[in-house]
């Protein structure tokens, strides 16, 4: 597996080695020793989550703060999404900047999003199965979010805004300037 550090320090794109033949393919999707060495810190994933969504569904931008902050390793099992990570680390040189990566069942890429980032995605294919590992448990009192269309973030979601399907909860999230960080 190849680990590519992005312009947002600590955020990595993972590209697997895929071994294909007439039966299909094989790939290693996670190896703790290699992962920890590549990202430079030990990460202990404790929870796996999976969601199914249809085209245009936008989930995010979500994060957790304090003792329940989460690092995530995300990938797509079926379909294609545009995955977004936003740097919320106040002392970071890239605070408020985002990274957009297309993840798909076809390219089999993964993205590692460290603690201190908001995360979201939009489904670009007819449907998508999205899978992610978290290094901390969900805690409702620690959750936060940023409005997906915040003009200071200027995220291009790759679909017209009137085609996005957004939950009531995500429609009322604050801007980055008003977010609880």
Check if the beta carbon of residue 104 is closer than 8 Å to that of residue 79: yes
Strand 80-87, strand 98-104: pairing: antiparallel
Q: Is 98 a catalytic residue?
A: no
Check if the beta carbon of residue 142 is closer than 8 Å to that of residue 68: yes
Please list, in sequence order, all residues whose beta carbon lies within 8 angstroms of the beta carbon of residue 146, skipping any fewer than 6 positions away: 61, 63, 86, 118, 153, 173, 174, 175, 176, 179
Residue in 63, 98, 119, 132 annotated catalytic: 132
Residue in 25, 62, 112, 137 annotated catalytic: 62
The helix or strand, by DSSP H or E, that contains position 168, with its residue range, turns out to be helix 168-171
Tell me if residue 173 falls in helix, strand or coil.
coil
The helix or strand, by DSSP H or E, that contains position 77, with its residue range, turns out to be strand 72-78
Cis-peptide into 6, omega within 30 deg? no
Q: Is 62 a catalytic residue?
A: yes
Q: Give the active site residues.
A: 62, 132
């Amino acid at each position: 597996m190849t680990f590519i550090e992005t312009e947002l320090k600590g955020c990595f794109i993972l590209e697997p080695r895929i071994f294909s033949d007439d039966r299909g393919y094989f790939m290693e999707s996670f190896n703790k020793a290699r992962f920890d060495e590549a990202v430079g810190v030990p990460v202990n994933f404790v929870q796996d989550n999976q969601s199914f969504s249809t085209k245009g569904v936008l989930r995010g931008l979500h994060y957790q703060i304090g003792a329940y902050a989460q690092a995530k390793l995300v990938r797509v099992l079926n379909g294609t999404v545009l995955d977004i990570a936003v740097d919320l680390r106040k002392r970071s040189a890239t605070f408020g900047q985002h990274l957009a990566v297309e993840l798909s069942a076809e390219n089999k890429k993964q993205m590692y999003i460290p603690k201190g980032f908001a995360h979201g995605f939009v489904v670009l294919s007819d449907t998508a199965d999205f899978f992610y590992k978290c290094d901390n448990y969900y805690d409702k009192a620690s959750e936060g979010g940023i409005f997906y269309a915040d003009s200071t973030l200027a995220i291009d979601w790759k679909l017209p805004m009137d085609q996005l399907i957004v939950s009531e909860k995500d429609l009322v999230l604050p801007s980055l300037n008003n977010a609880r960080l």
